[in-house]
Amino acid sequence: MAPTIKLGDTIPSGVFTYVPYSAELDDHSACGVPTKLDITKDWKGKKVVLFAVPGAFTPTCHVNHLPPYIQKYDEFKAKGVDVIAVVAANDAFVMSGWGRFEKLQDKILTLSDPNAEWSAKLGLSIDLSALAFGTRTARYAIILDDLVVKYVDVEPGTGVTVSGADVVLSKL
């Protein structure tokens, strides 16, 4: 799969839903209130690392993809990254639950892309109906600087290579 979004392109507008971290979420009986993140407004003038996973809590995503971003958070910040975000087709409550489980506290935003609609605009959705998952986000990574794509790549298989934390760090 080759993305339709390319280096030098301005990222298409999009609105993600997420549940911002608050201390009340540490009590797992709270769910939080979903809010909107508008890429065009909220990421204007910022350096953003966005990586996508087919699903929260799924084996490769949960074990191999997200953890290195958590471990290397300070390295991303040292390279001037303002925002690190993970996106998946899961709903905002599932993404929030994953973020709470991983104790992200919005260091890494957990964004919902329902039915991978925004990812599809970039040529970065994948049909996983054969696994009963429906349409999901492909496994990919994008670096944005003031909404302009500085890096984009999609995984050629089921592993984590071109969208992993080490590769993305090397592209900053």
HEC letters along the chain? CCCCCCCCCECCCCEEEECCCCHHHHCCCCCCCCEEEEHHHHCCCCEEEEEECCCCCCHHHHHHHHHHHHHCHHHHHHCCCCEEEEEECCCHHHHHHHHHHCCCCCCEEEEECHHHHHHHHCCCEEECHHHCCCEEECCEEEEEECCEEEEEEECCCCCCCCCCHHHHHHHC
Known catalytic residue: 31? no
pTM: 0.91
Q: What is the mean pLDDT of residues 58-64?
A: 60
Domain boundaries, the chain: 15-171
Percent of the chain with pLDDT over 90: 56
- Give CATH superfamily name and number for 15-171: Glutaredoxin (3.40.30.10)
Please report the pLDDT score of residue 131 as a whole number: 65
Catalytic residue among 61, 142, 149, 160: 61
